[in-house]
Amino acid sequence: MRTGRDLELVAVTKRYGTTVAVNAVSHLFIEGSYVCLLGPSGCGKSSTLRMIAGHETVTEGAIILAGKDIAQLPPARRGTAMMFQSYALFPHLTVRDNVAFSLKMKGIDKAERHREADQLLDLVGMTALADRLPAQLSGGQQQRAALARALITKPQVLLLDEPLSALDPFLRIHMRAELKKLQRELGITFIHVTHGQDEALALADEIVVMNNAVIEQAGPAREVFNAPKTAFVARFIGGHNVLALPQGRFAVRADEVRLAQDGAEAVVTSVEYQGAHVALNGRMAGNQEILALIPEADFFADPKSPGDSVRLSWRADRAHPLEA
């Protein structure tokens, strides 16, 4: 539901010379939501984030936060904060001084800024490491410190530029749960840029899929995953087959495709055991690739091998017509 403190992009465009990085993008980010900007490299998601932060100028359009156009304001006066991919912790300052840096720039006295920094460090579970230098921290600890530093400005919107990409897979899963928890506790808007579909699905209240400088689709994570509008979204979000059927182009989730007695004919091209599922790749008429994620027990009840002819089917209501 729309509130007076939402963030809205109105026909925001970014051009670098003749190259259009972001093309008239309009979107409403509801206050207090966790939004993931998802897309491949060069799709314009980072440029969009950087324009919201104020690190890139807006060529055309407006960025409205809480009813005010912030597009021309300096970064520090926008009501946004950013957590950088590299964390950008100043290496010569302790964690506490890093967190308190913006308060120092505002001329707040040492005792007060340290008190506030300590509160934030407590929030992210870093109190014990407050006197360490960034080089003495692990990747996850650096990320928490960077979060605390971003949050000390009490932003209305926190911008996260691929915050998990520098972490190992195990820590990434752990930290994304913490990010989500923190966002719920704080109740502010998080805009998180990622090219990881699983990350977006796990975190986002809303996923905004970008491609070629425009938004291809935006909506709740389940909606985007279950009903991709375009072939690009279906392929990018993963786990979907894009099939050209006589009625048109459709997206069918791979885990909805079943081995059946009747259905589309296909020849198995590869079989891959994935634990809970077996990934069966096949080739249908018209040289179309199809992926079926078959529950392990079902597959091994009647195992298939490459070269076998099979029939594959799916529920008609699970095939989503694609717009493009």
Partner 1 sequence: MTATGIRRANFWGGVITALTILMALIWAFPLYWGVISSLKPEDEVVRPYIELWPENLTFQHYVHALTATQIGAWYVNSIAVAVGVTVITIVTSMLCGYALSQLQFPGRKLLWWLILASFMVPTQALIINHFVLTSQLGLINTWAGIMLPQLIHPVIIIVYKQFFDQVPHDFREAAVMDNAGEFRILFRVYLPMNWGVTTALSIVCFIWTWNAFLWPFLSVTRTEMMTITVGITQVNDAFGVYYARELAAAVLAGLPVALAYLLFQRRVTEAITLSAGIKG
Q: Which of 26, 57, 72, 86 binds partner 1 (CB under 8 A)?
A: 86
Helix axes 169-186, 139-151, angle to 10 degrees: 20
Among 15, 16, 40, 92, binds partner 1 (CB under 8 A): 92
Stretch 137-196 residues interacting with partner 1 (CB under 8 A):
149, 153
Which listed range, 98-106, 109-117, 121-129, 173-181, lies at the site for partner 1 (CB under 8 A)?
Answer: 98-106
Number of other residues whose CB lies within 10 A of the CB of residue 54: 21
Binding partner 1 by CB under 8 A: which of 15, 68, 106, 110? 106
d(CA 175, CA 14): 32
CA atoms within 13 A on the CB side of 31: 13
Nearer to partner 1 among residue 90 and residue 300 (C-beta) = 90
Of 5, 55, 318, 320, the one binding partner 1 (CB under 8 A) is: 55
Which of 12, 21, 63, 81 forms a contact with partner 1 (CB under 8 A)? Answer: 81
Smallest distance, Å, CB 70 to partner 1?
13
Pairing of strands 189-194, 157-161: parallel
What is the C-alpha separation between 59 and 229, in angstroms, rounded? 29
CA distance 69 to 77: 12
**Interface residue with partner 1, options 74, 187, 246, 307 (CB under 8 A):** 74
- Choices 1-9, 99-107, 187-195, 221-229; region in contact with partner 1 by CB under 8 A: 99-107
Q: Which stretch binds partner 1 (CB under 8 A): 83-91, 182-190, 210-218, 249-257?
A: 83-91
The number of helices, as runs of H, and strands, as runs of E, in the chain is 9, 17
Least distance from partner 1 to the Cβ atom of residue 143, Å: 14
88 or 186: whose CB is closer to partner 1? 88
d(CA 199, CA 183): 15
Q: Is residue 246 close enough to count as binding partner 1 by CB under 8 A?
A: no
Residue 110 zone, left/alpha/beta (φ > 0; ψ -120 to 50; rest)? alpha
Q: What DSSP assignment string belongs to 265-302?
A: EEEEEEEEE-SSEEEEEEEEGGGEEEEEEEEHHHHHHS
Contact footprint for partner 1 (CB under 8 A): 53-55, 74-76, 81-82, 84-86, 88, 90-93, 101-102, 105-106, 149, 153
